[in-house]
Amino acid sequence: MKVDSSSTRQLTLPITGMTCANCAATVERALCRTEGVAGASVNYATERAIVELSEGGATLEDLSIAVERVGYGVLQADPDELHDVEAAARQRELENQTRKFWVGVGFAGPLFILSMARDFGVLGSWASAHWVYWLMFVLASPVQVYVGWDYYVGGWKALRAGSANMDVLVALGSTVAYVYSVVVVVMLTAGSTLAGEHVYFETAALIITLIKLGKLLEVRAKGETSEAIRELIGLQPDTARVVRQGVEYDIPISDVVVGDVLLVRPGERIPVDGEVVDGLSSIDESMLTGESMPVEKGPGDVVVGATINKSGAFHFRATRVGADTALAQVIRLVQEVQGSKAPIQRLADRVSGVFVPIVIVVAVLTFVVWWAVVGADFSVALVRLVAVLVIACPCALGLATPTAVMVGTGRGARLGILFRSSEALQRARQLGTVVFDKTGTLTRGEPEIRTVITLDSDEAELLRFAGSAELMSEHPLGEAVLREARRRSLNLTKPDSFRAIPGQGVQAMVGGAEVLVGNQVLMENRDIDLAALESAMESIVAGADTPLWVVIDGEVKGILGAADILKEGSADAVRDLRNRGLNVIMLTGDQNATAEAIASSIGIHEVRAEVLPHQKRDVVGELQVDHVVAMVGDGINDAPALAQADIGIAIGTGTDVAIEAADVTLMGGDPRSVVTALALSRATMRTIEQNLFWAFFYNVVLIPVAAGALYSVTFLPMMLRSLHPILAALAMALSSVTVVGNSLRLRRADLR
């Protein structure tokens, strides 16, 4: 979900009391109906609502009231404490559910043993005495009322809000078995066998207890799916050592303000983002970039909060604190994605929305067919009805997608791969073409001037002009020229006028002379005669370097050769992508011959060179006609192309999270992460599909079995021919656990 933050505002609300995906749908509808709300998305797995407010906007109170009216709650907490408050609430819920489960076991266990022993006739004649019936009633009732209470409450809430959820099914199923049994006992006591002699107390009690077990395991596993976020939050140190007026103080991290000078000693975590003032150190940034090699930092370098200072001590000035730090952004981003809905989930939501009413109809039909058509006993028909109700709880369906998305994106965050939308996760598998930007993506983006060729053999003069012209340029090539001029201690003059010509070069007035520095295209546009240095250019290009023409007052004076070192992982990344059957293309504004030379050295066969920045987007658009296209760029001048691509992958640098235009941000600079990101999204999608398969399998395939459709298939075991409701409840509990467990496997999935 991409939202323009200028016109709308987004709120994230923690929702309490949801027991299944239908609850989430109910809350979502309630929020959407509220005045001042442009849209809402409620995620059952994260238990959060993302609300988009329209102009004027609803207040938090309006929203809380809307949520409470349909029977759920909004957890009130400061944004800072939200996570702790949520964790505490979840912990309480877990304890509460655990207690209920054990109470259920305590009563349903003996009840089950008693009724089994009776059915197998091992107890002798006393077992059919009336008091035994009443004993069973006494054992079943606490389970029905105390342990089963949540289902009544949940079911009632849903019905009142005009929908039906799994609580309705559990409540209905167990109540039918329980109430029928009560009627039997009362009739028997009154001396009548009109209602039959068999009771189903243990069925009711075990349905409730088993499904409670499923819920319990689900709540636990759900807690584990958000482990990555918890880990990220845990990276934030609690205190910082600030230097004020020459005195060092330890202060809480929340008291650090921008501009504070902080001291970091070896082995400590850097508290917030900032810039080194003095000192040298190597810093482990792996928690944010996924890259294990420590990075050397000195005065002027940017340091990122939550990274670990390995060797030296240094002072740095805080530049971003609190919610502005890179870590805070990462956390927010991951939470947003986890809360957003993948398109595939909407389908599951729609299905489970109509599922429950359909199931109730099927259950009633089952009863009618068995009783009235087949002519079975009333109680046999009733057992079929209960089995159908219980087997059809759609809770696994609701968990299938969000749990996989949570585990997948969490794993990504740990590897320095940030997904911005769950849509991107889903699209990644149809991918056909990966387009790489050259400079800064496949190469380090820190070119060096390797060759200086002049017509009149005054290198210093040439570089003085070129360096002065590039003084205001922010382009890596401009900086390379500047660095070379400074290295030679040349005196540069500030240009009187300066113009950057995107994708071509620069034009500047330096001390009365008009200087042009740039590529072939620029020179051709200006009708400059380049013949004098044509062969010099060819030798630069042959060495895979980028030629930069230097022209003064319309005459070519020299040519510079800039070499940009390839990143270590570039060739590997290209090879892995091609092995996966993907088309790899290099896209660059650089000269054709240079681009070709670099491309072939890393195994790329298709190159689009001399492409101006604004044309990159069109090139991506053309490629999209045939393929799903991913664009990998350094995220600054490639922004339009990143936005155009089906999957925009920005290579960030941990600090400058250039995320707005991209679907995926790689916090480190390693192109091999592209392969990992694609593998992760494929693995996540595969998990979602497996989950949906199992959820549908349990829910849909087992319904006819529960209804007794296999009854006449006599070679099957009786267990299947007439599926006992207790087995149905067991299958139900298993289905949610299978799905969540399968999602958790993603934490260790092979991503090569």
Helix H or strand E encompassing 85: helix 82-119
Please tell me whether residue 447 binds ligand ADP under the rule CB under 6 A. Answer: no
Helix H or strand E encompassing 11: strand 9-16
- Rounded CA-CA distance 516/522 in Å is 9
Non-local (6+) Cβ contacts of 592 within 8 A are: 607, 609, 610
Please count the CA atoms within 13 angstroms of the CA of 585 that sit on its side-chain side. Answer: 20
Residue nearer to Mg ion on the CB measure, 227 or 660? 660
Q: At what angle do helices 149-160 and 21-33 cross, to 10 degrees?
A: 40
Residue nearer to ligand ADP on the CB measure, 230 or 499? 499
Least separation in angstroms between residue 564's CB and ligand ADP is 9
- Is residue 483 classed as helix, strand or coil in its secondary structure? helix
Least separation in angstroms between residue 598's CB and ligand ADP is 10
Least separation in angstroms between residue 525's CB and ligand ADP is 12
Residue nearer to ligand ADP on the CB measure, 10 or 592? 592
Query: What's the first-to-final CA gap in the chain, in angstroms?
Result: 29
Residue nearer to Mg ion on the CB measure, 336 or 564? 564
Fill in the amino acid letter for 606: E
Q: Which residue is nearest to ligand ADP (CB)?
A: 589
Burial of 433 (0-12, 13-18, 19+ CB in 10 A): buried
- Phi, psi at 570, each rounded to 5°: -60, -50
Q: How would you list the strands of the sheet with 281-284, edge to edge?
A: 295-297, 281-284, 308-309
Q: Using CB under 6 A, which residues numbered 578 to 617 contact ligand ADP?
A: 588-590, 613
Count of chain residues binding ligand ADP (CB under 6 A): 22
Residue nearer to ligand ADP on the CB measure, 62 or 479? 479
Least separation in angstroms between residue 480's CB and ligand ADP is 9
In the list Mg ion, ligand ADP, none, the entry touching 416 (Cβ below 5 to 8 angstroms by class) is none
In the list Mg ion, ligand ADP, none, the entry touching 576 (Cβ below 5 to 8 angstroms by class) is none
The first and second tokens of residue 123, run together, are 């107890």
Least separation in angstroms between residue 617's CB and ligand ADP is 12
Percent helix / strand / coil, the chain, rounded to 5: 55, 20, 30
In the list ligand ADP, Mg ion, none, the entry touching 505 (Cβ below 5 to 8 angstroms by class) is ligand ADP
The binding track of 611-650 with respect to ligand ADP, each residue x by CB under 6 A or -, is --x-----------------------x-------------
**C-beta of residue 304 within 8 angstroms of C-beta of residue 273:** yes
CA R_g for the chain: 34
Please tell me whether residue 503 binds ligand ADP under the rule CB under 6 A. Answer: yes
- Rounded CA-CA distance 93/99 in Å is 10
Residue nearer to ligand ADP on the CB measure, 336 or 590? 590
Q: Using CB under 6 A, which residues numbered 460 to 489 contact ligand ADP?
A: 470, 473, 475, 477-478
Alpha helix stretches (DSSP H) within 582-724:
592-601, 613-624, 639-644, 672-696, 702-707, 718-721
- Rounded CA-CA distance 539/508 in Å is 27
- Rounded CA-CA distance 31/43 in Å is 13
- Rounded CA-CA distance 396/20 in Å is 9
Q: Quick one: which of 546, 570, 691, 742 contacts ligand ADP (CB under 6 A)?
A: 546
Q: Choose one: 161-169, 252-260, 512-520, 662-670; the region binding ligand ADP (CB under 6 A).
A: 512-520
Least separation in angstroms between residue 642's CB and Mg ion is 11
The binding track of 379-418 with respect to Mg ion, each residue x by CB under 5 A or -, is ----------------------------------------
Q: How far is CA 463 from CA 488, 510, 511, in A?
A: 9, 12, 14
In the list ligand ADP, Mg ion, none, the entry touching 506 (Cβ below 5 to 8 angstroms by class) is ligand ADP
Q: Quick one: which of 213, 548, 662, 728 contacts ligand ADP (CB under 6 A)?
A: 548
Pairing between β-strand 281-284 and β-strand 308-309 as defined by DSSP bridges: antiparallel
Residue nearer to ligand ADP on the CB measure, 307 or 439? 439
Pairing between β-strand 417-419 and β-strand 497-501 as defined by DSSP bridges: unpaired
Please tell me whether residue 439 binds ligand ADP under the rule CB under 6 A. Answer: yes
Least separation in angstroms between residue 166's CB and ligand ADP is 54
Residue nearer to Mg ion on the CB measure, 613 or 741? 613
Please tell me whether residue 504 binds ligand ADP under the rule CB under 6 A. Answer: yes
Least separation in angstroms between residue 400's CB and Mg ion is 40
In the list Mg ion, ligand ADP, none, the entry touching 548 (Cβ below 5 to 8 angstroms by class) is ligand ADP
Residue 437 is among the residues annotated as catalytic for this protein:
yes
In the list ligand ADP, Mg ion, none, the entry touching 22 (Cβ below 5 to 8 angstroms by class) is none
Least separation in angstroms between residue 276's CB and Mg ion is 26
Residue nearer to ligand ADP on the CB measure, 426 or 520? 520
DSSP class of residue 428 equals G
Count of chain residues binding Mg ion (CB under 5 A): 3
In the list Mg ion, ligand ADP, none, the entry touching 468 (Cβ below 5 to 8 angstroms by class) is none
- Rounded CA-CA distance 70/396 in Å is 23
Non-local (6+) Cβ contacts of 635 within 8 A are: 642, 650, 651, 652, 658, 659, 661, 662, 665
* Rounded (5°) CA angle 317-318-322: 170
Non-local (6+) Cβ contacts of 211 within 8 A are: 170, 390, 393, 729, 732, 733
| Active-site annotation holder among 437, 545, 634, 663 | 437
Least separation in angstroms between residue 447's CB and Mg ion is 11
Residue nearer to ligand ADP on the CB measure, 475 or 617? 475
Residue nearer to Mg ion on the CB measure, 215 or 616? 616
Please tell me whether residue 216 binds ligand ADP under the rule CB under 6 A. Answer: no
Fill in the amino acid letter for 594: T
Please tell me whether residue 563 binds ligand ADP under the rule CB under 6 A. Answer: no
Best CA proximity match to 513, nearest among 548, 560, 459, 462 = 462
DSSP class of residue 293 equals S
Pairing between β-strand 583-587 and β-strand 606-608 as defined by DSSP bridges: parallel
Least separation in angstroms between residue 235's CB and ligand ADP is 33
Non-local (6+) Cβ contacts of 418 within 8 A are: 330, 333, 334, 337, 409, 412, 657, 659, 664, 665, 666, 667
The first and second tokens of residue 406, run together, are 């949570």
Burial of 496 (0-12, 13-18, 19+ CB in 10 A): exposed
Q: Quick one: which of 506, 659, 707, 729 contacts ligand ADP (CB under 6 A)?
A: 506
Q: Choose one: 313-321, 381-389, 517-525, 699-707; the region binding ligand ADP (CB under 6 A).
A: 517-525
Please tell me whether residue 104 binds ligand ADP under the rule CB under 6 A. Answer: no
- Rounded CA-CA distance 59/53 in Å is 9
The binding track of 421-440 with respect to Mg ion, each residue x by CB under 5 A or -, is ----------------x-xx
Residue nearer to ligand ADP on the CB measure, 128 or 497? 497
In the list Mg ion, ligand ADP, none, the entry touching 157 (Cβ below 5 to 8 angstroms by class) is none
Residue nearer to ligand ADP on the CB measure, 478 or 495? 478
- Chain residues binding ligand ADP by CB under 6 A are 437-439, 470, 473, 475, 477-478, 503-506, 517-519, 546, 548, 588-590, 613, 637
> What is the contact surface with Mg ion in residues (CB under 5 A)?
437, 439-440
**Positions marked catalytic:** 437
